[in-house]
Amino acid sequence: MIAAHADWSIAPGKRWMAVARRQGGGWQAEAPRPVGDTARLLPDLLVPGLPVALGLDLPLGVPRDWAALRPEADFPVFLAGLVDDPGFFRVAATLAEVAATRPFYPARGIKGMTRAGHAAALGLAGPQSLSRLCDRATATRPAGAPVFWTLGANQSGKAAIAAWRDWIAPALAAGAPVALWPFAGGLHALLAPGRVVLAEVYPAEALRQLGLRLAGSKRMQAPRRAMAAALRAVMARLRVDPSPTLAAVIADGFGADAAGEDRLDCVLGLLALVAVLDGARPDHVPDDPWVRRWEGWVLGQTDLPR
């Protein structure tokens, strides 16, 4: 089996991926590498006769109150249909441009803008309706940003646009051997030779799932370097053997450049994915039809919102 996690961004230079291959009773993990050409992402991961699990640091799903306005049966069907609706991905510059068929907002910061205004423009009851269940704060981590919001350091809307528009929607529409967890079923049930299973993995959630803590900002090399021994201990517990290059990257704190945090995130996501694949964490999905059909879930997350 092959496991991989891609830390996604609208900027190609900020897209990094870590890959591991199951061998015997453990895993051989490689150093993070740039994602590169998105058209080659799935073909390059596929190896004849092997299943592939690919974690993604981006939303796979939409909020239920907004989904209730859609005619499709579920999120994968909706996503595949977006290949014929490029206008869906144009980010609205003003609330007047926001519509159910153009939900991403705002294109830039505007004085007085609020998520309440965004929700109202979409015909939703309030700002909480912009968020999926898995986006909301739990007892162990803060809330993530709503899917359609595109402003701020923790927003994920732009990453969703880049991935949905440029390769996931076209792959689904073309009938590529791709399945989306949890919409198509449980992770282990979906794994099959020649198929790539996509799952949402949230690095901030992965950090907590793995029992790790950063003593400072992940944007700084020193806190990343200080976590090296604890990270190696987690890898040993999960039977993940790093390549010499990956071991050196970890010891160095993932580098001094701005992509260091992205390299860290893709390794954290990979380890969280491996933990679920090997049963160290459950393949948990709430028994909620909206979650299973439209909203999706974060792999390995067991905590419900406050």
10-residue averages of pLDDT along the chain (306 residues):
95 94 95 95 94 97 97 98 96 94 92 91 95 93 92 90 96 97 97 97 94 94 98 98 98 96 97 98 96 98 91
CA 25 vs. chain centroid, Å, equals 27
Q: Is the overall model pTM greater than 0.85, yes or no?
A: yes
For residue 51, what pLDDT is reported?
97
3-state secondary structure of 19: strand
pLDDT at 85: 95
Q: Which of 3, 2, 5 is nearest to 203 (CA)?
A: 5
Q: What is the pLDDT of residue 111?
A: 82
Q: What pLDDT was estimated at residue 267?
A: 98
- Reading the block at residue 2, the tokens are 């092959």
CA separation for the pair 149, 141 (Å, rounded) = 19
What local confidence, expressed as pLDDT, does residue 154 receive?
83
User: Contact at 8 Å (CB) between 134 and 120?
Assistant: no
**So what's the pLDDT on residue 24?**
87
Contact 16, 262 (CB under 8 A): yes
Per-residue model confidence (pLDDT) at position 141: 87
Query: Distance between CA 131 and CA 290 in Å, rounded?
Result: 13
Instruction: Write down the pLDDT at residue 126.
Output: 94
pLDDT of residue 170: 97
What pLDDT is recorded for position 152? 86
Long-range contacts of 10-17 (CB under 8 A, 24+ apart): 10/158, 10/159, 10/161, 10/162, 13/259, 14/259, 14/262, 15/262, 16/259, 16/262, 16/263, 16/265, 16/266, 17/266
> So what's the pLDDT on residue 110?
81
Angle between helices 228-237 and 260-277 (to 10 degrees): 20
E strand or H helix at 273, and its extent?
Answer: helix 260-277
How far apart are alpha carbons 165 and 24 in whole angstroms?
37
